[in-house]
Amino acid sequence: MKNFPAFVKSFLIVCCLGLLFSCQPEDEPVNKILSSDFIDGVLFLNHSDEGFAIQIPTSTSAKFFPSPSKNTFEIDESGEDFLELAPGLYWIDVVWENGIPVRETIPVYITKNKEEAIQTVSALKKMKTENAGYAIVLRHTNATVGEDIVTSPIPQWWKSCDSNVARQLNESGKNNAKKIGDAIRKLSIPVSASISSEFCRAVQTFENMALGVNIVQDRRLNHENESKKLVMWEDAFQVIKDNPKNDGIVVLVGHYNMYAENPYRTSIRPFNQSDGFLMRRLPTGELDFIGSIPIYMWDIFL
């Protein structure tokens, strides 16, 4: 090109560059679920006893199917359907027509209070760095081995880990406690305090969670069989207020009587063994209710 005039050289360079870029592949289409209910990788749906609609718009063509390996439901391939399901966590597969990726499994969280569920999942996902003032309050995990012998002559019988004296965790309870601990570690949530009732089944819940934090026992969290206190949510909340740690979250494990007359019981219901709820201590010292944590919510993070 050394004998070509300058303007010819410039023209040829421009043409070559044009050809080069025209041969580059176009940007691949981005596969996205566009539903406003799809937040933090979870599709949140409000439950209704009469049934409820589901609609999942997408940025590119896709089809939906029941998950072959997880708790799931039948859904029309279009992503539009009418469901009659109980509240809970379900999973469905989305298959993208352009194959990028070929198939994804997404969680569908059906709840009676969508807004609280959204803020609870969001708070837990951010808790690695945004954790000041938070407290996870749990009812001990499943315990059906033995029963509480309230007439036992053994001093402080409720602390016994003998199923002939007091009720203990069953295998499901041990597994659920492990699941909670695994999810907390997966989320890198820093735990600064583990506070348990004095009952062995509550301590065992912490032991199977394996949070690596010393377990402190507090009688204010005890079951009514020992304390004779049917209503103790105020005591549980006071335990949180008495532990104003800002370097991580506080985890409490107590019993069903934390639920009785609790001002948030409508949101917490049902409060089965292994279930819990999330609170946050405000700068004023008062507590703010974030939302319930049914045992199946932890599966989102595992």
CA–CA dist 279, 290 (Å, integer): 5
**Residues 213, 181 share a domain:** yes
pLDDT at 177 > cutoff 90: yes
Does residue 285 or residue 244 have the better pLDDT? 285
Residue 116 confidence (pLDDT) above 70: yes
Mean pLDDT of 39-46: 96
pLDDT of 8 reads 44
User: Is the distance from CB of 32 to CB of 43 less than 8 angstroms?
Assistant: no
Q: At 50, which CATH number?
A: 2.60.40
pLDDT at 217: 98
Residues 121 and 108 in one domain: no
Alpha helical stretches, state H, 92-170: 114-126
Confidence check: pLDDT of 263 > 90: yes
In a domain, 132, yes or no: yes
Give the per-residue SS3 of 6-64. Answer: HHHHHHHHHHHHHHHHHCCCCCCCCCCECCCCEECCEEEEECCCCCEEEECCECCCEEE
- The number of folded domains in the chain is 2
Overall residue count recorded for the chain in this entry: 302
Q: Do both 172 and 262 map to the same domain? A: yes
pLDDT tens-digit series, residues 85-101: 999 999 999 999 999 88
* Residue 140 counted as domain residue: yes
Is residue 16 included in any domain, yes or no? Answer: no
Residues 131 and 102 in one domain: no
Kindly state whether residue 17 falls inside one of the protein's structural domains: no
As a whole number, mean pLDDT of residues 283-293 equals 95
pLDDT at 243: 86
* Residue-by-residue DSSP string for 198-232: SSHHHHHHHHHHT-SSPEEE-GGG--HHHH--S--
- Regarding whether 259 and 123 lie in a shared domain, the answer is yes
- The structure tokens 């039948």 sit at 74
9 lies in some domain: no
| Sequence letter at residue 164 | N
Q: Collect all residues with Cβ–Cβ distance below 8 Å to 286 and sequence separation of at least 6.
A: none
Q: In terms of domains, do 79 and 126 share one?
A: no
The β-bridge relationship of strands 134-139 and 276-281 is: antiparallel
User: Long-range contacts made by residues 163-171, C-beta under 8 angstroms, separation at least 24?
Assistant: 166/199, 166/200, 166/201, 167/143, 167/201, 168/143, 168/200, 168/201, 168/204, 169/140, 169/141, 169/142, 169/143, 169/145, 169/201, 169/204, 169/205, 169/208, 170/142, 170/143, 170/144, 170/145
Predicted local distance difference test score (pLDDT) of residue 245 = 67
Quick one: 155 and 215 in the same domain? yes
Whether residues 104 and 125 fall in one domain: no
Could you tell me if 267 and 281 lie in one domain? yes
Task: Using the predicted structure, report yes or no on whether residue 19 has a pLDDT greater than 60.
Answer: no
- Do 154 and 84 have their domain in common? no
Average pLDDT, the chain: 92
- Pairing status of strand 287-293 against strand 276-281: antiparallel
Q: How confident is the model over 49-87, as pLDDT tens digits?
A: 999 999 999 999 999 999 999 999 999 999 999 999 999
Contact 212, 184 (CB under 8 A): no
| Structural domain span for residue 251 | 116-301
Does residue 110 have a pLDDT over 60?
yes
Q: In this structure, is residue 2 part of a structural domain?
A: no
Query: Is-above-0.85 flag for pTM?
Result: yes
Instruction: Examine residue 218 and state whether it is found in any structural domain, yes or no.
Output: yes
Residue 32 in domain? no
Residue 182's CATH number: 3.40.50.1240
Mark which of 96, 112, 128 sits at the end of a domain: 112
pLDDT band at 126 (very low <50, low <70, confident <90, very high): very high
pLDDT given at position 182: 98
| Position 272 pLDDT exceeds 90 | yes
75 and 123 part of one domain? no
Q: DSSP state, 145?
A: B
Q: Tell me which of 50, 84, 112 is where a domain ends.
A: 112
Q: Mean pLDDT across the stretch 135-152?
A: 98
> Which of 112, 141, 172 is at the close of a domain?
112
Question: Residue 35: which of 74, 4, 5, 64 has the closest Cα?
Answer: 64
Name the band, by pLDDT with cuts 50, 70 and 90, for residue 14. Answer: very low
Residue 59 is encoded by which pair of tokens?
């940025």
For the segment 248-261, the average pLDDT, to the nearest whole number, is: 96
pLDDT for 22: 47
Q: Do 178 and 270 lie in a common domain?
A: yes
